[in-house]
Amino acid sequence: MINKVFNSAEEAIADVWDGSTILFGGFGGAGLPYEIIYALYRQGAKEITAVSNNPGYHEEGIAKLIAHDRISKLLCSFPVQKDSYVFREKFNQGKVDLELIPQGTLAERIRAGGAGIEAFYTPTGVGTEIAEGKDEQEFDGIPCILEKAIKGDFAFIKAKKADRWGNLVYNKSGRNFNPVMAMAGKITIAEVDEIVEVGELDPESIVTPGVFVQRVVKRS
């Protein structure tokens, strides 16, 4: 019997190692896997490279990891939300590095990472500081820069429902980066509100097929 369901967030994230790259789903608080993030905080892994659209607010979400110096590098599109003071402070102290990435390029680099595409050309960022050091070529007269895939040792994602095969459906715009991160994580851990029987999710409605998901844990 296939069973990807873990009994607790602690067990689901127990083997995350120091120095691993983790993809964190969520757009602000929407679709953010809070419980496995906090379990990781308690587990203590450090020198993490984090990929996340935002750096967390106050000391919530990944801001908690940043506040305790667990994250050494952040790949992010929008690090300057007004309540993101933890990141700002640690960045200014040189405790965390930043790779700033346009949001569409971030999503596509992650999708590419999960789809076996090692790099692609895009017009986004041409003529900006994002283009510095990147190969530039024209296609059909459109100047483009080369962007490389992003892959994770782990992906921490949030969905609404799962079954024990790891099939997932999401809630509204809580979907955001979660499906592409599921694809790009070697070990994808999905925190979900509800676990249902295999066969209960409508096959036409499954957003992330279980092949992309290794572990499922129910939010307590």
Residues that bind other proteins (CB under 8 A): 27-31, 53, 77-81, 88, 91-92, 98, 100-108, 110-111, 122-130, 170-180, 207
CB 1 to other proteins: min, Å? 30
Element (H, E) at 185: strand 185-195
CB 122 to other proteins: min, Å? 7
Closest CA to 165 of 209, 130, 126, 134: 209
Determine the 3-state secondary structure of 87 from DSSP: helix
Beta strands 142-148 and 119-122 are antiparallel
CB 167 to other proteins: min, Å? 15
For residue 81, count CB atoms less than 10 angstroms from its CB and return exposed for 0-12, middle for 13-18, buried for 19 or more: middle
Structure tokens of 220? 């307590």
Residue 20 or 178: the one with the smaller Cβ distance to other proteins is 178
Closest CA to 154 of 28, 1, 7, 25: 25
Residue 16 or 26: the one with the smaller Cβ distance to other proteins is 26
Residue 7 or 92: the one with the smaller Cβ distance to other proteins is 92
Residue 45 or 181: the one with the smaller Cβ distance to other proteins is 181
Residue 10 or 98: the one with the smaller Cβ distance to other proteins is 98
Asked if 201 and 175 count as a contact pair (C-beta separation under 8 A), the reply is: no
Asked if 96 and 71 count as a contact pair (C-beta separation under 8 A), the reply is: yes
Residue 13 identity (one-letter amino acid): I
CB 57 to other proteins: min, Å? 9
CB 88 to other proteins: min, Å? 6
